[in-house]
């Protein structure tokens, strides 16, 4: 982005006097951005309200004038039977006195509102953003934002980024033009204040232009792992506002929000708990994203500590109360055992099962999907978690379900014993294979010594008077 504006603003000394410091320039840039923001607010509130008032006043005046013209001089003429006029269909009113289809459907007012909205957008794009006085400051603001190494003053950088975000609120074209630059600053800026302000500005843009900012949503979630607490706090507040107002769809990145539940800063963790408690009130959103959260947090590449994972899942499973949701989660978690390859993943999934309120159908799901996890029961932690599940299910189970649980426990014990036996046999085979390889290595060394000894003897017979020490057999070879 920077080379596009180098030709117009190479050096500040060419535009401003030598004593023009960064603080004064930052005030100028901040003023330009602030005026641009309030121009948009004035157009979309005050001007739009005035246009609506005038339209409604004109409609009322038209109704009053139409009512006066429609009155008849006497009541007797209103009772006369209408005559058939040639060229007109009987039973139909004249075109002038009948309401049009647009009036009956209520489209005239809607069309007028659309025209007014388009006019305000056009004024913002052309008169404010392209040809107005404020457009003269646009290259200067972009030059400062795109060249932080040249303009190193933190106050100037903060003012420029805020002004750029306010300019982007003017029109769809400006937002699309500088969106990449704004998110580059959000990701790479070394100044904590710049990142904290930029995440707030990005949230405002996502609320105003959701379709434009939707591809950049992962960059918003990435700031939840920012080293600065202020940036993380602003990010959780912005994402809470956008998600709860349906401006951002709840997708796989929601696992980043779950990680914030264990943030070192207690105020940030409290904001995350508030977000999930409000999300739970909206319907089945937490249930829908919970399998995805478990999959992401249990990924070995994420290296989420065991205690942190268990605290997060314990909090999230507290919002799953419906029986059908519990049954579905049991089945999904059991199937996920097939896709896991590490012991830590087995333990995490088994722990998730302990957080579900088991009913009779959940027990049946657990038994029906026994083949998904039977080979994982050899791990002691996994077996302990499943034992905890069956013990908890027994407390409130019906007699026939208790018999089913007892059968499941026997299957679990058999699978664990079989797995331990196979593991022991594998260890023995590994030890015997190691011994065999060691014996083969010793034999090969012995054969090498024997071959070299015979070769030296042949050389000594050919050269009996040679006193070269290299032809004398070594002590090890004599043996």
pLDDT of 76 > 80? The answer is: no
Give the percent of the chain with pLDDT over 90.
Answer: 38
Closest-CA residue to 293 (of 317, 262, 323)? 317
pLDDT of 443 > 70? The answer is: no
Which of the four pLDDT bands, split at 50, 70 and 90, describes residue 437? low
pLDDT of 426 > 60? The answer is: yes
Give the percent of the chain with pLDDT over 70.
Answer: 77
- Tokens in use for 63? 């109704």
Alpha-carbon dihedral angle through residues 52, 58, 59, 63, given to the nearest 10 degrees: 160
DSSP code for 472 = S
Residue 196's alpha-carbon distances to 231, 247, 442, in angstroms, are 5, 20, 67
In this predicted model, what pLDDT tens digit does every residue of 331-344 receive, in sequence order?
999 999 988 888 89
More confident residue, 73 or 399: 399
The dihedral sign for the CA sequence 350, 355, 358, 361: negative
The pLDDT value given to residue 241 = 94
The pLDDT value given to residue 75 = 42
Residue 20: CB atoms within 10 Å: 13
Which of the four pLDDT bands, split at 50, 70 and 90, describes residue 253? confident
In this predicted model, what pLDDT tens digit does every residue of 285-322 receive, in sequence order?
899 899 999 989 988 888 889 999 999 999 999 999 88
The mean pLDDT of 38-58, rounded to a whole number, is: 85
Question: Average per-residue pLDDT in the chain?
Answer: 80
The pLDDT value given to residue 270 = 95
pLDDT of 269 > 50? The answer is: yes
- Tokens in use for 213? 């900012």
The pLDDT value given to residue 447 = 61
Give the global pTM: 0.73
The pLDDT value given to residue 85 = 41
Phi, psi angle pair for 284, to nearest 5°: -105, 25
More confident residue, 28 or 49: 28
The pLDDT value given to residue 264 = 92
């Amino acid at each position: 982005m920077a080379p596009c504006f180098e030709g117009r603003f190479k050096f500040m000394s060419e535009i401003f006097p030598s004593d023009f410091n960064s603080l004064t320039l930052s005030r100028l840039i901040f003023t330009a951005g602030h005026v641009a923001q309030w121009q948009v607010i004035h157009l979309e509130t005050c001007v739009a309200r005035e246009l609506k008032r005038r339209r409604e006043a004109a409609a009322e005046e038209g109704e009053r004038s139409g009512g006066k013209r429609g009155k008849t001089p006497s009541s007797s003429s209103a009772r006369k039977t209408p005559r058939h006029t040639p060229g007109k269909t009987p039973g139909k009113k004249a075109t002038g006195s009948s309401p049009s289809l647009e009036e009956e459907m209520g489209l005239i007012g809607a069309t007028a509102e659309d025209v007014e909205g388009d006019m305000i957008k056009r004024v913002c794009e052309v008169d404010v953003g392209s040809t107005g006085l404020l457009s003269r400051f646009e290259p200067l603001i972009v030059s400062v934002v795109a060249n932080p190494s040249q303009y190193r003053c933190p106050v100037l950088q903060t003012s420029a980024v805020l002004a750029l975000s306010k300019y982007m609120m003017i029109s769809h074209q400006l937002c699309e033009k500088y969106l990449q630059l704004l998110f580059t600053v959000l990701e790479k800026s070394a100044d904590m204040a710049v990142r904290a302000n930029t995440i707030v500005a990005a949230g405002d843009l996502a609320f105003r232009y959701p379709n434009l900012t939707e591809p950049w949503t992962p960059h918003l979630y990435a700031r939840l792992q920012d080293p600065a607490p202020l940036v993380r706090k602003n990010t959780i507040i912005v994402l809470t506002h956008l998600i709860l107002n349906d401006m951002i769809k709840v997708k796989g990145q929601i696992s980043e929000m779950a990680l914030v539940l264990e943030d070192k800063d207690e105020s940030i963790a409290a904001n995350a708990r508030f977000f999930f408690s409000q999300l739970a009130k909206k319907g089945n959103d937490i249930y829908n994203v919970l399998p995805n959260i478990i999959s992401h947090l249990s990924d070995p590449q994420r290296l989420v500590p065991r205690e942190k994972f268990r605290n997060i899942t314990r909090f999230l499973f507290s919002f799953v109360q419906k029986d059908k949701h519990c049954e579905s989660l049991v089945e999904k978690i059991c199937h996920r055992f097939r896709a896991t390859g590490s012991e830590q993943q087995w333990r995490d999934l088994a722990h998730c099962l302990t957080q579900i309120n088991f009913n009779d159908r959940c027990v049946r799901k657990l038994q029906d999907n026994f083949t998904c996890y039977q080979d994982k029961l050899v791990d002691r932690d996994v077996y302990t978690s499943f034992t905890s599940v069956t013990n908890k299910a027994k407390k409130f189970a019906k007699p026939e379900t208790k018999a089913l649980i007892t059968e499941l426990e026997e299957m679990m014990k058999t699978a664990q014993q079989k797995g331990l036996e196979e593991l022991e046999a594998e260890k023995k085979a590994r030890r015997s294979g190691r011994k065999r390889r060691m014996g083969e290595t010793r034999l090969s060394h012995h054969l090498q010594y024997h071959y070299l000894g015979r070769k030296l003897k042949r050389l000594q017979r050919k050269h009996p008077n040679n006193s070269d020490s290299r032809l004398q057999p070594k002590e090890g070879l004599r043996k």
